[in-house]
Structure 1
Amino acid sequence: MTAGVRVLQKGLTPSGIVNAFALGTLLYGAFGAGGFSLLCLYFIFGTAVTKVKLQQKQKEGIAEANSGRRGPNSVWGSGAAGAFCAAAALATGEFDLWQIGFVASFTSKLSDTVSSEIGKAYGKTTYLITNLKLVPRGTEGAVSLEGTMAGLGAAAAYAAVATAIGQTTPSDAVLVTAAAFLANVFESYLGAVIQGKVEWLNNDLVNVIQISVAAALAVLAKYYL
């Protein structure tokens, strides 16, 4: 328990830790140890990737605030869709249907984090997704080849782990990866077009929209296909 808290302290504020425990308890109740393990995996790798070339990103003013330590808003910005899927699974008993939404939501968020952080660290040429004009690294809605490929690789790897521990099937892992990628493209577009122009639309809310889109796409694909 003490060791777990020490790990969480590297990426979360004290209030963030409390909320992360609440999220983890809900996911464990719905999807068991495997679901909880996916949350832990997201946290570990999501935190680690924010440290990549951190000093360089800090000098450029594009690093995450508080050296990447996140509070309650960020916890639910990453986990709201997964929490909803867990609650829906418990309420309806349709665990297989909602489980793919849960996996897709965290796949999308990890992929987005990896894409953003690797793009800011290693992106050589960065384009605005709406018009493909060159923009500085760290610009909202900007994409790079390096970041995009890293994010897609992270999505595929995370979905593969989910399959290996029984949280999804191999065929559903393909749906999860595709849903995550499409949601990330949508998030980049949303960031370029709206974020910063609408006062109430902050980064955490954009994240909620993104992971909800990923979950919805995966659930709908599972239901109809």
Structure 2
Amino acid sequence: MAGIQTPISTWQTAVLANLLIFTVGSPILVSGLSLHGIAAAFLLGTLTWRSFGSNYFILVAAYFVIGTAATKVKMAQKESQGIAEKRKGRRGPRSVFGSSAAGILCAILRINCVGGEDFAHLWELGFIASFCTKLCDTVSSEIGKAFGKTTYLITSLKKVPRGSEGGVSIEGTVAGVVASSILACVGCLMGEQISWGEGMICVLASVFANVVESIIGATFQEKEGFLWLNNDAVNVINISMGTLFAIIIKHI
């Protein structure tokens, strides 16, 4: 399948479009992002528009809306149990960049036409897969903390409290897969060259990456010698794996 060789928007268009959208959408943005988080999201939005155009800006917007909604579900209950996100779920710049690092890399590679025509489509697929992976993670975690009847440690299947690192629940897992599937559908509808089969690749890659992330969390996170492995670092590892898996599956 042939890729598009040159970016389909200019920096000026991308900046102006994001200024307009962020101004109009500020009431929604402040519910899910800190002020510095909004600045980081503006950079992400501008880069997305520059590299992939307005269609994939809609993909990122859908990711933000669904992820924020899941984070807000039963917030009072999560806060009382000490498992809620800080600042009532309003994400800061480290979270924004940690959650979008792989997508940003794909966008930069796309803008600079790295790999030429043959790789342009892979960067597009990787971009979608990165956000499917992160949304799967966010929704499975937040819905699991809100509605999970039983949480199991993925490495031993022992019951653990909600919100435990490496803990998974049936409710959260199903919700995460559904959310990833919805975002993949948005990618297929918005992307000019993404097939439904490739959308399925994004979903499968996101699920696999999140299983590996849960194993990493259960095995290493918060353990002696791995205190550097915080949620932001795990986010980067997780979405990078999801992106890489999707690209490899498509390329082989």
| Aligned residue in 2 for 1:21 | 42
Return the letter of the residue paired with 2:206. Answer: A
| Aligned residue in 2 for 1:216 | 244
Cα deviation digits, residues 55-109 of structure 1 (max 9, x gap): 1111111111110001110001111100000111122243211111110010010
Pick one of 183, 187, 191 that aligns with 1:162.
Answer: 187
Cα distance in 2, alignment partners of residues 44 and 32 from structure 1: 19
Q: Is the counterpart of residue 46 in structure 1 residue 67 in structure 2?
A: yes
Cα deviation digits, residues 32-69 of structure 1 (max 9, x gap): 11111111111111111111011111111111111000
Pick one of 196, 219, 230 that aligns with 1:202.
Answer: 230
Cα distance in 1, alignment partners of residues 41 and 188 from structure 2: 23
Measure how far apart 1:142 and its partner are: 0.2
Matched residue of 2:83: which SS?
coil
| Aligned residue in 2 for 1:133 | 158
Measure how far apart 1:158 and its partner are: 1.1
Cα deviation digits, residues 115-159 of structure 1 (max 9, x gap): 001100110011000000010111010001111111111111111
Pick one of 70, 82, 95 that aligns with 1:61.
Answer: 82
Deviates more, 1:86-95 or 1:34-43: 86-95
Return the letter of the residue paired with 1:79. Answer: S
Matches within 5 A, 1:20-169: 20-91=41-112, 92=114, 93=116, 94-166=119-191, 168-169=194-195
Cα distance in 2, alignment partners of residues 155 and 43 from structure 1: 12
Gaps of 5+ in 1: none
Cα distance in 2, alignment partners of residues 175 and 149 from structure 1: 17
Return the letter of the residue paired with 1:123. Answer: G
Return the letter of the residue paired with 1:47. Answer: T
Cα distance in 1, alignment partners of residues 232 and 174 from structure 2: 24
Cα deviation digits, residues 16-36 of structure 1 (max 9, x gap): 111111111111111111111
Return the letter of the residue paired with 1:211. Answer: I
Cα distance in 2, alignment partners of residues 131 and 199 from structure 1: 22
Return the letter of the residue paired with 2:101. Answer: A
Return the letter of the residue paired with 1:205. Answer: A
Cα distance in 2, alignment partners of residues 124 and 207 from structure 1: 25
Matches within 5 A, 1:158-197: 158-166=183-191, 168-197=194-223
Matched residue of 1:127: which SS?
strand
Matched residue of 1:10: which SS?
helix
Cα distance in 2, alignment partners of residues 15 and 163 from structure 1: 31
Percent identity over the alignment is 52
Return the letter of the residue paired with 1:10. Answer: S
Measure how far apart 1:169 and its partner are: 1.2
Gaps of 5+ in 2: 1-19
Return the letter of the residue paired with 2:204. Answer: A
Matched residue of 2:152: which SS?
strand
Matched residue of 1:137: which SS?
coil
The TM-score, its normalising length taken from structure 2, stands at 0.87
Cα distance in 1, alignment partners of residues 104 and 144 from structure 2: 28
Return the letter of the residue paired with 2:229. Answer: L
Measure how far apart 1:6 and its partner are: 2.2
Check whether the contact 2:59–2:190 (CA below 8 A) recurs between aligned residues.
no
Cα distance in 2, alignment partners of residues 216 and 70 from structure 1: 25
